[in-house]
Amino acid sequence: MLIESVELRELRLPLVSPFTTSFSTQTERNTLVLRVAGSVPTPNGRVDVVGWGECVALGEPLYSPEYIDGAKRMIQLYLLPMLARVQAEGREVTAETVGALLEKVVGHRMAKAAIEMAVLDAELRARGESFARYFGATRTRVPAGVSVGIQPSVDALLGAVGGYLDEGYVRIKLKIQPGWDLAPVAAVRQQFGDEVLLQVDANAAYTLADAQHLRRLDDYGLLLIEQPLAEDDLVQHAKLATAMSTPICLDESIESAKDAADAITLGAASVINIKPGRVGGYLEAKRIHDLSRAHGVAVWCGGMLETGLGRAANAALAALDGFSLPGDISASDRFYREDITEPFVLRDGHIDVPQGPGLGVEPIPENLARVTHDTQEVWPA
């Protein structure tokens, strides 16, 4: 692709209800979308293309070191100028080379992932290929799990979980933290039975000193416990794994295929939550899928409250064979009254995988404008 312009839009989407985790309460999703325009070569000459990318960093650096303001500056001051220099040398940028072209910049995987996603979308739209087909997806719809935040009371939690089950969600994930773990899990089991697919996510809220306490979760038949310890605690997760029978799943700890290999080798995880933005892009996400599959490690697609753009790409990725557990790929209305794309809706507990070229979705201009906080043209002149 020869990039000609890049529009960076900071969005603010109000959440339908507060979303509380062990590290924050969010009432709006502050996010970043990129619109990359340019041309790609085809057998019949160059065609003009547009591609969309989404940066999954949160508004504040509380889930990971990246945050929206930082990602904006990273993309504008470092990443795009590096790609412009590549083009000035007469070379094209492709989705498969973006990661290598940007690797001199240490980290900033979510910012890099947004650019790679937009270039991949543009290339695939030009050749009429969907993300699903490009990744080798084998399904046209994926089971929808839902992430339930920490609630003001157990009663409120039971109401929320009951509502999601009534909507048809096939898997419930409860956010937990010290002081809100055994009681909510026990209450959900008590109210909705042992058949419900149930898992928990601590967002790194515990330490190995909590091992005996966490081990009591083993009584509730959970699918997994996600990121119980700090993101840099691989060895400690491996130790925790020997102290409890509930499978350990890692999220924040896995930022690359290398991390996944280390976690598997150390026995720090027997399940991996793959989030394309966290690992630097969909191509690295696919590599982690392939690696995990080779080791018999189950993976599922995590969520970062994406708009319909990221949701479309995540649904395509989650349709790969190795994604054997329901992901955090809920309907748009789980978080948003209005999405920036046509909404993703739950159908028999599943989300349809877009089949159109590229992402298969694009922003609805009026919807995008309504939530745009600022727009900048950031391709170096």
Ligand X SMILES: CSCC[C@@H](NC(=O)CCC(=O)O)C(=O)O
Positions annotated as catalytic residues are 175, 275
Site string for ligand X, 15-54 (x = CB under 6 A): ------x----x----------------------------
| Residue with Cβ nearer ligand X (76 or 307) | 307
The reply to whether 328 sits near ligand X by the rule CB under 6 A is yes
Query: Considering the complex, what minimum distance in angstroms separates the CB of residue 23 from ligand X?
Result: 8
| Residue with Cβ nearer ligand X (63 or 180) | 63
The reply to whether 147 sits near ligand X by the rule CB under 6 A is yes
The reply to whether 354 sits near ligand X by the rule CB under 6 A is no
The reply to whether 64 sits near ligand X by the rule CB under 6 A is no
- Judged by the rule CB under 5 A, the positions of this chain that interact with Mg ion are 201, 226, 251
Site string for ligand X, 86-125 (x = CB under 6 A): ----------------------------------------
The reply to whether 282 sits near ligand X by the rule CB under 6 A is no
Which residues are bridge partners to 143 per DSSP?
A: 350
> Interacting stretch for ligand X, rule CB under 6 A, among 74-82, 262-270, 303-311, 368-376?
303-311
For every residue of the chain, which 3-state class applies, written as one string? Answer: CEEEEEEEEEEEEEEEEEEECCCCEEEEEEEEEEEEEEEEEECCEEEEEEEEEEECCECCCCCCCCEHHHHHHHHHHHHHHHHHHHHHCCCCCCHHHHHHHCCCCCCCHHHHHHHHHHHHHHHHHHCCCEHHHHHCCCCCEEEEEEEECCCCCHHHHHHHHHHHHHHCCCEEEEECECCECHHHHHHHHHHHCCCCEEEEECCCCCCHHHHHHHHHHHHHCCCCEECCCCCCCHHHHHHHHCCCCCCEEECCCCCCHHHHHHHHHHCCCCEEEECCCCCCCHHHHHHHHHHHHHCCCEEEECCCCCCHHHHHHHHHHHCCCCECCCECCCCHHHCCCCCCCCCCCCECCEEECCCCCECCCCCCHHHHHHHEEEEEECCCC
Residue nearest to ligand X (CB): 303
The owner of tokens 């018999």 is 296
Query: Considering the complex, what minimum distance in angstroms separates the CB of residue 380 from ligand X?
Result: 32
Q: Which of the choices ligand X, Mg ion, none does residue 147 contact, using the CB cut-off of 5 to 8 A by kind?
A: ligand X
Which of the residues 330 through 349 are near ligand X (CB under 6 A)? 330
Query: Considering the complex, what minimum distance in angstroms separates the CB of residue 147 from ligand X?
Result: 3
> Interacting stretch for ligand X, rule CB under 6 A, among 80-88, 105-113, 133-141, 298-306?
298-306
Query: Considering the complex, what minimum distance in angstroms separates the CB of residue 81 from Mg ion?
Result: 33
The reply to whether 307 sits near ligand X by the rule CB under 6 A is no
Query: Considering the complex, what minimum distance in angstroms separates the CB of residue 250 from Mg ion?
Result: 9
Phi then psi for 251, rounded to 5 degrees? -125, -85
Phi then psi for 271, rounded to 5 degrees? -145, 145
Among 51, 184, 302, 358, binds ligand X (CB under 6 A): 302
Q: Which of the choices Mg ion, ligand X, none does residue 328 contact, using the CB cut-off of 5 to 8 A by kind?
A: ligand X
Contacts with ligand X, residue ranges (CB under 6 A): 21, 26, 58, 63, 147, 201, 203, 251, 302-305, 328, 330
